[in-house]
């Protein structure tokens, strides 16, 4: 039995990506990986966004080699170390200046889920209130409390504890307006709904401890909230004295064309949840929050690996490179090229119903209709077929959103415009094959064209 078959034999039935992308990946450089057969695959998943600088970035690798040969402590719970000092300095240097002067940080167990759990615990303790307002389509993690704030129903179908106290409001999903409009008034209706919920003495929901939101819903289908909607939400939460928790586990660190996605709107959260890119490819998660909320006692949130020194070293090096190379501007420019190319594909293939997102966090909603009508039903089966064909053609993309009908692009931020051209060629070949119901035998598509 070969190595891949052995892994498949012993691994849990709950495995996710490995069940769809059946290959043994042996090496990776930049935006490309190679499997056991030597086949090249362009990685548009980037470990769900945790590899902002791609695979085996030489500067990160050199920094890690220096660290692990230095006799520096590597795991020390939450004790102070030089690595922690330098990491915190670098992170706070990326935060908006005014907010950084008021911010505190809590290191969590190294997953975004645990950081969300910590944020929920923080606001509940600080306010003395229990309810949390989350949004339909949200994804905040797979642990019990974070799962309770998830919009997707199947993963929480058997949740028997920790699910109480979370109430869901409509997210401003313009392409499929939750209020049944053409999308032009979705933002206003969403805010008005929330305003009524918070002010109605018979809403059935006590005053919440927080509103928890993603600036762009990632797993929910790459749905961006507008700057105007975010500003209205911030104003509404301030008016009612409710902390605003922004989950930037996937959108943070230059991904969307600004260092943090919330910055484009000019608002400031009360609580910011960070993970994925934060550790430069290694497990790390934190909650950064306004010091006015810092009333929880010692030991209120803990975890053995909240002092992941290797992740702090890699994370600090990553943040330095992101700032030095102005990667937010690069993500915006290359993301615009990818978005434009996807729109051109959509003009030739009406099954690609909506192109959306920001920077290098883009989604393509796949529909059944031959027109670009928002009423066209989603086609999760075709999206899955495109994904399978794309992988056979050397392109790794994820699906998400309702009915898993959204093709998601989350590549490393070092993606070039030349890479964009190759991605678009492989994707169009895959769309054509999927529409014809033909699964390619394998190997890369013809990728001669490149975007200049």
Domain assignments of the chain as residue spans, ordered by start? 3-56+327-435, 72-324
3-state helix, strand, coil in the chain (%, to 5): 40, 15, 45
Which one-letter DSSP state was computed for residue 258? S
How many other CB atoms sit within 10 Å of the CB of residue 25?
16
Give the tokens for residue 442: 């394998």
Residue 365: φ, ψ to 5°: -85, 125
Q: State which H helix or E strand residue 398 sits in.
A: strand 398-400
The answer to whether 186 touches 180, Cβ cutoff 8 Å, is no
For residue 153, what pLDDT is reported? 85
For residue 197, what pLDDT is reported? 95
Rounded to an integer, what distance in angstroms lies between the CA atom of residue 125 and that of residue 162? 16
Check if CATH label 3.40.640.10 holds for domain 72-324: yes
For residue 164, what pLDDT is reported? 64
Rounded to an integer, what distance in angstroms lies between the CA atom of residue 178 and that of residue 168? 12
Which one-letter DSSP state was computed for residue 409? E
For residue 6, what pLDDT is reported? 81
In DSSP terms, which residues pair with 289 in a beta bridge?
104, 271
- Predicted TM-score (pTM) of the model is 0.93
Rounded to an integer, what distance in angstroms lies between the CA atom of residue 361 and that of residue 125? 34
CATH class of the region 3-56+327-435 = alpha beta
- CB neighbours of 154 closer than 8 A, spacing ≥ 6? none
Q: Tens place of pLDDT for every residue, the chain, 452 residues?
A: 588 778 787 888 877 877 788 888 999 999 999 999 999 999 999 999 999 999 999 999 999 999 999 999 989 999 999 999 999 999 999 999 999 999 999 999 999 999 999 999 999 999 999 999 999 999 999 988 899 999 888 887 776 554 568 999 999 999 999 999 999 999 999 999 999 999 999 999 999 999 999 999 999 999 999 999 999 999 999 999 999 999 999 999 999 999 999 999 999 999 999 999 999 999 999 999 999 999 999 999 998 988 899 999 999 999 999 999 999 999 999 999 999 999 999 999 999 999 999 999 999 999 997 655 557 899 999 999 999 999 999 999 999 999 999 999 999 999 999 999 999 999 999 999 999 985 544 444 433 333 32
For residue 451, what pLDDT is reported? 32
For residue 46, what pLDDT is reported? 96
The 3-state DSSP class for residue 158 equals: coil
Q: How many CA atoms lie within 13 A of 408 on its CB side?
A: 24
The residues that are catalytic are 139
- CB neighbours of 378 closer than 8 A, spacing ≥ 6? 365, 366, 367, 368, 401, 402, 403, 405
The answer to whether 411 touches 31, Cβ cutoff 8 Å, is yes
Count the residues in the chain: 452
How many other CB atoms sit within 10 Å of the CB of residue 96?
15
């Amino acid at each position: 039995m070969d190595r891949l078959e052995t892994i498949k034999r012993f691994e849990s039935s709950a495995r996710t990506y490995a069940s769809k992308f059946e290959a043994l990946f042996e090496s990776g450089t930049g935006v490309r990986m190679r499997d056991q057969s030597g086949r090249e695959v362009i990685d548009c998943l980037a470990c769900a966004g945790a590899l902002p600088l791609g695979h085996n970035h030489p500067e990160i690798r050199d920094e890690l080699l220096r660290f692990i040969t230095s006799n520096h402590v590597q795991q020390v719970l939450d004790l102070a170390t030089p690595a922690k000092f330098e990491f915190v300095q670098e992170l706070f240097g990326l935060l908006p200046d005014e907010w950084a002067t008021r911010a505190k940080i809590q290191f969590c167990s190294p997953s975004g889920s645990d950081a969300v759990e910590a944020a929920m615990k923080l606001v509940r303790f600080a306010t003395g209130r229990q309810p949390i307002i989350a949004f339909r389509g949200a994804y905040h993690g797979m642990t019990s409390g974070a799962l309770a704030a998830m919009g997707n129903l199947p993963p929480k179908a058997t949740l028997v504890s920790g699910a109480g106290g979370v109430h869901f409001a409509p997210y401003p999903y313009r392409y499929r307006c939750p209020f049944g409009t053409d999308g032009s008034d979705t933002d206003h209706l969403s805010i008005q709904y929330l305003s009524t919920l918070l002010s109605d003495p018979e809403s059935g929901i006590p005053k919440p401890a927080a509103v928890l939101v993603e600036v762009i819903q990632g797993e929910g289908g790459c749905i961006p909230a507008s700057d105007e909607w975010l500003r209205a939400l911030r104003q509404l939460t301030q008016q009612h004295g409710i902390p605003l928790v922004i989950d930037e586990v996937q959108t943070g660190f230059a991904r969307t064309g600004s260092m943090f996605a919330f910055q484009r709107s000019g608002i400031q959260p009360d609580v910011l949840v960070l993970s994925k890119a934060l550790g430069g490819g290694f497990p790390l998660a934190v909650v950064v929050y306004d010091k006015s909320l810092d009333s929880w006692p010692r030991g209120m949130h803990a975890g053995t690996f909240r002092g992941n020194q290797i992740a702090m070293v890699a994370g600090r090096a990553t943040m330095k490179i992101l700032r030095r190379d102005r990667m937010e501007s690069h993500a915006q420019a290359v993301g615009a090229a990818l978005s434009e190319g996807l729109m051109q594909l959509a003009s030739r293939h009406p099954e690609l119903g909506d192109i959306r997102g920001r920077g290098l966090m883009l989604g393509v909603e796949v529909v059944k209709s031959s027109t670009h009508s928002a009423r066209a039903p989603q086609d999760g089966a075709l999206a899955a077929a495109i994904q399978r064909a794309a992988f056979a053609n050397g392109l790794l993309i994820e699906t998400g959103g309702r009915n898993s009908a959204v093709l998601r692009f989350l590549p490393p931020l070092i993606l070039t415009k030349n890479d964009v051209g190759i991605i678009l060629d492989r994707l169009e070949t895959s769309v054509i094959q999927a529409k014809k119901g033909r699964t390619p035998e394998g190997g890369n598509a013809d990728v001669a064209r490149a975007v200049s």
